[in-house]
Amino acid sequence: MDTSTLERLARAWSEGDPDAQTAQEVKALLAKQDWKELEDRFGTSLEFGTAGLRGTLGGGTNRMNRAVVRRTTAGLARYLKANVPDVAKRGVVVGRDGRLMSPEFAADTAGVLAAEGIPAHVLPGVSPTPVTAFATTHLGAAGAVMVTASHNPPEYNGYKVYWGNGAQIIPPHDGGIAKAIDAVEPAKDVKVMPEAEARAKGLWRDVPASVERAYFDAILALRPTKQAGDLAIVYTAMHGVGGRWVLQALKEAGFTRVHPVPQQQEPDGTFPTVRFPNPEEKGAMDLSTALAEQVKADVVLANDPDADRLAVMARDEGGALKMLTGNEVGVLLGHFLLTQQRVENPLVVTTIVSSAQLAAIAKAKGARYGETLTGFKWIANLALSEAPKGVRFVMGYEEALGYTVGEVVRDKDGVGAALVVADMAAWCRARGKTLFGYLEEVQREHGLFVAKQYNATLPGASGASVIKGVMDAFRAKPPDRIGELAISATNDYQAQARTEGGRSTPLTLPRSNVVAYELEGGSRVTLRPSGTEPKIKFYFELRETMAAGEPLAQARARADQRLAAMEAAFLVLARARGLP
């Protein structure tokens, strides 16, 4: 984009920005003639999609700021009025996490909704994302907005939208809302009703405390065995909003030996003890691990900042603390819930990039199994679509530490999942087992599956071009084997076609830029660009056959070695197709 166009766009935007701070940011960039930064901020716009919005804070169309939030809310409100006849009666729930600018974004959201004649049901203070999702269905609202950037670094924020069914939006609503946003007037012209006026008109309503009580009652009822015993738990909120909620839930469930990490318990949008507030990142669990060793904890539970994800550490059979992967936690939850409670016609669901072990367990236990595209919106909507058939949704998970149990929350729920994992760990302890000991039981019965992920970060327009080129090249030059394993079938979710033995059959999942190779013996490799970050992701899973009586450590070492070889062989193929 030429500098004169950039200058015109930036000047017009800064003059209409309702936030003096971000307006001044842009004016300072103009004064310095920082064209590179201005092009990054104005060369494109944040794209509204099925995850809503997410981006770095700052002035510009390609940043998260009050102008973007106001225009987005106006578009959402007008789309709802055009498609939900009773939206003015039902209203929209508004929740927020503890990030920088979250209070301002939530207040602007409520003010714009009110100005559009839609009541805003505002959760008081900070709340976990799953509570916002729960409040949507509990109050019968037409939708919800959660202001959060989940586990991104502190300079990020976001805007997540739920439909009235309590699940994140999917097509056609995401596209319809995006079109409505495009038609909204400049931010300076979007009407925002002051809070006092909105309250006086009944258009700004505090979500009642009864909703919180109903949520606690609902998740407490999810525990199959309702055990606590003397299980010792360390918990970290990771400077997020889950702390109060998880501690209360565990206390009401009877867990008396719970040790919160004090440095990370209270919400703090600067995340002072971690650069990247994601439990999977190196160093993020250091404080939790140190406290766990000090108090001799059996398990460590960690939420991300908006408490929709859950990480779990446990003692292995030798007493060492180790992190369970998202796949391992999901598989254990699935097995635990299918075996420790009686449910007619049970359904478990995961995604195409998560472990296939859940499918093996479901088949063995006579349960229905569903597989969706990546993203909890698809898991929740599949569960909803099956409910009229008399199917009971038991649990769903995705490998990126996202789980939900039962039908309480139609999204990831790191609070409810923490409670059920604690119940499972207490049940294991009563049997003289750790979670890792239980995992070995499951793997001996249903197969040893090992998995890993490789991410290549490729920022900017040039990176997006490389990512597209790699995906296109694999489609144009498909491999016939990956290392020692032949490819038995290819699933191309963009073409919606499955190729096996030279024959092509249609796939029923929605179109998505994903290619999955099924390998002989039950292993698989999946490629997909990230939907929220400038990354291309490769998922590897290998199924290993264990000999009767073989020590698990021996089988695991062999599986890990074969998995590493499979990854290395695939990366050779990827680099030959343009991966840097």
pLDDT digits (tens, 9 = 90+) for 118-138: 999 999 999 999 999 999 999
Q: Specify whether the CB–CB gap between 563 and 449 falls below 8 A.
A: no
Over range 453-471, report the average pLDDT. Answer: 92
Identify whether the C-beta of residue 67 lies closer than 8 Å to the C-beta of residue 16: yes
* 498 lies in the same domain as 486: yes
Q: The pTM is what?
A: 0.93
The share of the chain scoring above pLDDT 70, in percent, equals 100
Burial of 289 (C-beta count, 10 Å sphere; 0-12/13-18/19+): middle
Assigned domain for 580 exists: no
What DSSP character marks residue 339? H
Strand order in the sheet with 299-303: 257-260, 232-236, 299-303, 310-315, 321-324
Clarify whether residues 191 and 244 are in a common domain. no
pLDDT digits (tens, 9 = 90+) for 176-199: 999 999 999 999 999 999 999 999
Burial class (CB in 10 A: 0-12, 13-18, 19+), 412: buried
Check whether residue 322 and residue 471 sit in a common domain.
no
Whether 131 and 255 map to the same domain: the answer is: no
- Are 426 and 473 members of one domain? no
As a whole number, the mean pLDDT across the chain is 95
Residue predicted with more confidence, 334 or 44: 334
Q: Which whole number is the average pLDDT over 375-398?
A: 94
Report yes or no on 90 lying in a domain. yes
In angstroms, the CA 274 to CA 261 distance is: 13
Q: Are 58 and 157 in contact (CB under 8 A)?
A: no
Indicate if 221 and 358 belong to the same structural domain: yes
- 122 lies in a domain? yes
Instruction: Give pLDDT, residue 371.
Output: 95
Q: Is the pLDDT of residue 108 over 90?
A: yes
pLDDT per residue as tens digits for the range 291-330: 999 999 999 999 999 999 999 999 998 899 999 999 999 9
* Same-domain status, 104 and 142: yes
Question: Domain ends where: 446, 462, 493?
Answer: 446
Same domain, 440 and 453: no
Whole-number pLDDT of residue 333: 98
Provide the pLDDT for residue 501: 87
Helix axes 414-430, 129-138, angle to 10 degrees: 110
Asked whether residue 385 carries a pLDDT value surpassing 80, the answer given is yes
Same domain flag for 383 and 346: yes
Instruction: Read off the pLDDT of each residue in 522-539 and give the average, rounded to a whole number.
Output: 90
The pLDDT score that the predictor gives to residue 459 is: 86
Tokens of 414: 């790191």
Parent domain of 108: 3-207
Per-residue confidence at 531, pLDDT binned at 50, 70, 90? confident
The DSSP code for 189 is G
Span 57-66, average pLDDT: 96
Q: Kindly state whether residues 416 and 466 are assigned to the same domain.
A: no
User: Looking at residue 2, what is its pLDDT?
Assistant: 87
In a domain, 131, yes or no: yes
Q: Provide the pLDDT for residue 69.
A: 97
Q: Does 386 share its domain with 465?
A: no
Which of 207, 240, 259 finishes a domain? 207
pLDDT confidence of residue 191: 98
CATH code, 171: 3.40.120.10
What the block records as the tokens of 215 is 């949520």
pLDDT average, residue stretch 53-71: 95
Question: How confident is the model at residue 454, as a pLDDT?
Answer: 95
pLDDT in tens, 339-352: 999 999 999 999 99
- What is the mean pLDDT of the segment spanning 415-429? 98
User: Catalytic: which of 150, 288, 355, 512?
Assistant: 150
Asked if residue 261 is part of any domain, the answer here is: yes
In a domain, 322, yes or no: yes
E strand spans, 222-266 = 232-236, 257-260
Q: Which range, of 43-57, 97-111, 286-300, averages the lowest pLDDT?
A: 43-57
List CB contacts of 234: < 8 A, sequence separation 6 or more: 259, 260, 261, 288, 291, 292, 295, 297, 299, 300, 301
- My answer on whether 234 and 198 are in the same domain is no
Q: pLDDT per residue over 229-285, tens digit each?
A: 899 999 999 999 999 999 999 999 999 999 999 999 999 999 999 989 999 998 999
- Nearest-5° Cα angle at 279, 277 to 284: 65
Question: Which residue, 207, 229, 247, sits at the end of a domain?
Answer: 207
Total number of domains constituting the chain: 3
- Tens digits of residue pLDDT in 142-170: 999 999 999 999 999 999 999 999 999 99
Is there a catalytic annotation at residue 150? yes
In a domain, 321, yes or no: yes
Using CA atoms, how far apart are residues 27 and 58, in angstroms rounded to an integer?
Answer: 12
pLDDT at 502: 85
pLDDT band, very low/low/confident/very high, at 546 (cuts 50, 70, 90): confident
428 inside domain: yes
Tokens of 74: 């106006």
Q: Mean per-residue pLDDT for 7-20?
A: 93
